[in-house]
């Protein structure tokens, strides 16, 4: 790898890490706003959604610049292509955090009568850990760490199913809470989808490192 290409890739990694950190922080703030039913905090997240969009465009432009100026090959080329795909997943995670903030804003309109029935913070922390782990795996080219992220997705799916079951039981007891329960289930679904995007990133890392496609191949993940 030439010195110029090495510096360009290091710069790209730095931008990806900054985007990941921003997305993680916004997810944390969205869940905290929901926990407190803080409409103001939720609105701040919604109004600053374009910040993540701009960062996503910046990363994409950096990838295209490297492709045009350095014409990377082999592992360097796979890294750039993977970065482009991962960049899109991170932007979608940012959108999902905004969706959670929107659910919070809606619930906060009648905060006095709302009871939060689930432990969203625990689920959110697990999804944040998946996002962080997938990007760390990319930066360190660590396929083993990526495998751990993929396996962790099963736990997020299980938590989402558990919340769905609990919601059904609560609705039987209090049918009048149906509207709020739909909002909470939407939050659970957003978190589950964030886990899916983190899994996509981890699968792309494994492909970049080993050239193996593990998506849709559970047996390959266990190898």
Flag the least confident range among 112-126, 130-144, 193-207: 112-126
pTM equals: 0.88
Which of the pair, 39 or 75, is modelled with greater confidence?
Answer: 39
CB 24 within 8 A of CB 97: no
Kindly report the CATH number that applies to the domain delimited by 3-221: 1.20.58.220
Q: Is the pLDDT of residue 68 over 70?
A: yes
Q: How many CB atoms lie within 10 A of CB 114?
A: 15
In this prediction, residue 189 has a pLDDT band, given cuts at 50, 70 and 90, of very high
Task: Please state, in angstroms and as integers, the Cα–Cα distance from residue 185 to each residue in 31, 143, 196, 208, following that order.
Answer: 14, 33, 17, 35
Task: Give 166 or 153, the one with higher predicted confidence.
Answer: 153
pLDDT above 90 as % of the chain: 51
CA angle 99, 105, 108 (to 5 degrees): 140
What is the percentage of the chain residues whose pLDDT exceeds 70?
96
Q: According to the model, what pLDDT value does residue 50 have?
A: 94
- Give the start-to-end residue ranges of the domains of the chain: 3-221
* Banded model confidence at residue 140, pLDDT cuts 50, 70, 90: confident
- pLDDT higher than threshold 70 for residue 222: no
With H, G, I as helix, E, B as strand and everything else as coil, classify residue 37.
Answer: coil
- On the 0-12 / 13-18 / 19+ scale of CB atoms within 10 A, 176 is exposed
Average pLDDT, integer, range 98-110: 91
Indicate whether 218 pLDDT > 70: no
Q: What's the average model confidence in pLDDT over 184-202? A: 93
| DSSP code at position 176 | G
């Amino acid at each position: 790898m030439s010195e110029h290409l090495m510096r360009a890739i290091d710069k790209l990694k730095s931008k990806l890490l900054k985007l990941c950190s921003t997305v993680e922080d916004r997810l944390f703030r969205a869940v905290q706003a929901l926990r407190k039913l803080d409409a103001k905090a939720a609105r701040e997240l919604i109004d600053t959604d374009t910040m993540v969009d701009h960062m996503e465009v910046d990363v994409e432009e950096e990838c295209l610049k490297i492709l045009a100026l350095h014409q990377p090959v082999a592992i360097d080329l796979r890294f750039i292509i993977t970065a482009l795909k991962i960049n899109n997943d991170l932007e979608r995670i940012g959108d999902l955090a905004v969706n959670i903030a929107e659910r919070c804003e809606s619930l906060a309109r009648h905060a006095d009568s709302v009871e939060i029935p689930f432990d969203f913070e625990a689920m959110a922390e697990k999804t944040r850990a998946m996002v962080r782990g997938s990007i760390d795996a990319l930066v360190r080219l660590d396929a083993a760490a990526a495998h751990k992220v993929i396996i962790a997705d099963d736990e997020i799916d299980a938590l989402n199913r558990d919340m769905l079951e609990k919601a059904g039981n609560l609705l039987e007891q209090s049918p009048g809470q149906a509207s709020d329960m739909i909002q909470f289930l939407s939050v659970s679904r957003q978190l589950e989808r964030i886990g899916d995007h983190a899994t996509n990133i981890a699968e792309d890392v494994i492909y970049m490192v080993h050239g193996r496609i593990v998506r849709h191949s559970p047996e390959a993940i266990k190898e």
